[in-house]
Structure 1
Amino acid sequence: MAAGTEERTTGGAEAADAHTPIYARIQAHIRGGIASGGFRPGERLPSETQLAAQFGTTRSTVVHALQKLVFDGVVVRRAGSGTYVSEATPRTGAASASGLLASEAGIGLGAVEYRLLFFAPLAGAGRHGASPPAEGEADDLMVERVALESGQPVALEVIRLPCAVGQRVTPAMLRQHRTPDILAALDLPLQCLEGTIRCANATRRAAKLLQIAPSTPVLVRDYQILDRAERLQARAVVWHRPGFRLHYGIAGR
């Protein structure tokens, strides 16, 4: 990055509204640098320590700022290397998950948020209809959440996360982001998303949460996400409300 460009983008950050949260100023600084050509596709960004010093904040605030940019596809994080400007077109709304060979392109056509119903070890999830944990799975975490579009329920997700993964996931992530995006933001070496699509009658719980009649035929997706060593990183069952469309895309490796 040229020195002159760095001075201009840094000056803009320092002149930002004092009432704007620091994490938002960091995001605006990076987005502005990319838009102006100061940060080029594939270029490594300043380190977390450098950004923290530049904005007079902590590394945790910088990480929070970068996390959102990762979710939006603006930057990518490489374990042990740093944060880089994405060489792909940033995601807007529904788009494919970074790093996956094939992934869902989004639940629907509009912005989606989630209502988190359950997030706890699988051993205590019996009342939510989960099957008894197999040997070695008792510490796995179960997630149950409802996807909302414009405030209306569109899907019920029941997700199982290995303990090592689930311990790094926060309720805030689960309320805001799709499962593939959450795993990608954790710097996991994701390889593929495998799954099936089937038709089934809605269970009583699914019908209640999706606000439909019991036994209504619905679209159900069963999928799992594997890393490069073919280790399971997530397994899920998703019940979709009738009339809802799925969009799939292929992401380059």
Structure 2
Amino acid sequence: MSSEEFAPPKYAQIVQAIRQKIADGTYPPGSLLPSETQLVREFGVSRPTVVRALQVLQLRGVIEREHGRGSFVKAAPPVSAEQSGRPGRAVLDRVETGENCSIVEAGRQVATAPVAKLLDVPEGSPVVRRRVLFRDDERPTDLVTVWCPAHQADDTQLGEAEPLTVGIRQHLQTRKGLKLQHVVERLSARHPSAEEAKLLEIRKTTPVLGVLASVFNGGGRPVMVVDLVMPGDLHELEDSYSL
């Protein structure tokens, strides 16, 4: 096998390169990173790949993005759980219009037994399911499915087949005044379902990383379930914490 088979995806290579330049002082704290157009030329990738890399850096607390101004390097903060990688949180803050994605499904259906149990609602209750497939230059990178009770999705765009212009967390707070307080994640390595394999363009025997996240409000009630499926050969989960 060639070493290229083990190379990280392009967006991860950009993340590594920028973090290295921050570490060696090329991009000091407070400095402005090259524009998206400049990064596209530098790394020879598409704009969605660059945008995804910048979003990863933002979610990890490395940079701060300001609309109309660009991306700025943040001062190195102390490591905390809030700044470390959290897949469920990343999904809730992900902006669909900033990435190469397609809405596979969005609308009402009845809650199956497993979903009803996670949402603490009766089986057969109306829920809204939103499924979004994300891609990079070469192939699908992850599949996100969100379920929430139908009354929580009323007056929101979760059930509409159009990309969201803000993250789900901000969207719910703006439209419903709903604050999402904490997430319980369960990680697993498994084989994809037939539908997941088809959407992700992988074999049924290809391992995937699955993240099942229950999202709770301030009263401790589950208000959303997020299912994130990622091809195992494209992703690794990173965390950092103090001892």
* TM-score computed with the length of structure 2 as normaliser: 0.50
Residue in structure 2 matched with residue 238 of structure 1 by the alignment = 228
- 1:99-110 equivalences in 2 (<5 Å): 103-104=86-87, 106=90
Q: 1:215 to 1:177 in 2, by over 3 A?
A: farther
Question: Is 2:191 the counterpart of 1:201?
Answer: yes
| Offset at residue 89 of structure 1 (A) | 5.1
Equivalent position to 1:229, from 216, 219, 236: 219
2:136 matched residue in structure 1: 149
TM-superposition CA deviations, 1:29-67 (whole Å, max 9, x none):
xxxxxxxxxxxxxxxxxxxxxxxxxxxxxxxxxxxxxxx
Structure 1 residues 240 and 178 mapped into 2: Cα distance closer, same or farther (>3 Å)? farther
C-alpha distance in 2 between matches for 1:149 and 1:196: 25
- 8 Å contact from structure 1 (residues 101, 193) kept in 2: no
Does structure 1 conserve the Cα–Cα contact (< 8 Å) formed by 2:215 and 2:225? yes
Give the match for residue 189 of structure 1: 179
> What amino acid does structure 2 have at the position aligned with 1:180?
R
> What is the CA-CA distance between 1:153 and the residue it aligns to?
1.4
Partner of 1:139: 126
The answer to whether structure 1 residue 165 and structure 2 residue 155 are counterparts is: no
Q: Is the 8 A contact 2:105 2:161 kept in 1?
A: no
Q: Say yes or no: does 1:112 pair with 2:108.
A: no
* Contact residue 147 and residue 153 of structure 1 kept, 8 A: yes
Alpha-carbon deviation of 1:135? 2.1
Structure 1 unpaired stretches of 5+: 1-71, 73-87, 93-99
Quick check: 2:139–2:201 contact (8 Å CA) kept in 1?
Answer: no
**What is the alpha-carbon distance in structure 2 between the residues aligned to residue 173 and residue 167 of structure 1?**
16
In structure 2, how many angstroms separate the alpha carbons of the residues matched to 1:119 and 1:193?
23
Query: Which blocks of at least 5 consecutive residues in structure 2 are unaligned?
Result: 1-54, 56-62, 72-80
**1:183 maps to amino acid:** L
Counterpart contact for 1:192–1:227, Cα < 8 Å: yes
Larger Rg: 1
What TM-score do you get using the length of structure 1 for normalisation? 0.48
- C-alpha deviation, 1:115, in angstroms: 1.1
Aligned to 1:145, what secondary structure does the other structure show? strand
Percent identity, aligned pairs only?
Answer: 14
* CA-to-aligned-CA distance 1:137-156 (integer Å, 9 cap, x gap): 52111112212234731111
AA in 2 matched with 1:167: D
Secondary structure of 2:203's match?
Answer: coil
Q: How many residues are aligned here? A: 152
